[in-house]
Amino acid sequence: MVSSRPAEPPRPTRVLISEAEIRARVEEIGQDLARDYANENPVMVGVLKGALVFVADLIRATTIDVTMDFMALSSYGGETRSSGVVKVTSDLSLPIEDRHVLLVEDIIDTGRTVSYLKRNLETRHPKSVRLCSLLDKIERREVEVEIDYLGFTIPNVFVVGYGLDYAGLYRNLPYIATLEPS
């Protein structure tokens, strides 16, 4: 079923990070992961939905054995996810006890979602939990988060593309763009 969409959604007009820039940076991160996790077979945990595209490219940019899994989240009681009050709507399909875990996000904004997720994963006794994010909107940070692998720092502007959406739209753009009001 096709869900309803805004009649006049704002359009992505200005490319902030091009497809080529993303590809080059993802390759570099893939090489960093191969160096840091050689022979460790880490579990890459993508946070749905935004991280889907990044995870798909990242696993192909690294030469080591990786295991892929996903988590999906929603907010409690109409709060935004940025409140950090989140509910796991789809959990990992695999145990992570004694495994190295790499949490993969598309963007860190306030830091609350990832801070919650890291605590959640730590309770399952993994060997380690590190964080990889394509984007960091650092001006918006409210809780301290250590990002171990970062694609790009961006200014405090609304961005879409490469997995990121506006009202469900634009996740399929191969670049990161800013939105122009309609």
Q: Does residue 120 touch ligand PRP according to CB under 6 A?
A: no
Q: Does residue 55 touch ligand PRP according to CB under 6 A?
A: no
User: Which residue is at the shortest CB distance from ligand PRP?
Assistant: 50
Binding mask 2-41 for ligand PRP (x = CB under 6 A): ----------------------------------------
The least distance separating ligand PRP from the CB of residue 164, rounded to whole angstroms, comes to 7
Q: Does residue 165 touch ligand PRP according to CB under 6 A?
A: yes
The catalytic position among 109, 136, 148, 165 is: 109
* Helix ranges restricted to H, the chain: 19-36, 52-60, 112-122
Distance CA 93, CA 68 (A): 10
What is the token pair recorded at 65? 């054995």
Nearer to ligand PRP, 111 or 126 (CB): 111
SS3 content of the chain, % helix, strand, coil (to 5): 25, 35, 40
Q: Is the peptide bond before 127 cis (omega within 30 degrees of 0)?
A: no
Does residue 109 have an active-site annotation?
Answer: yes
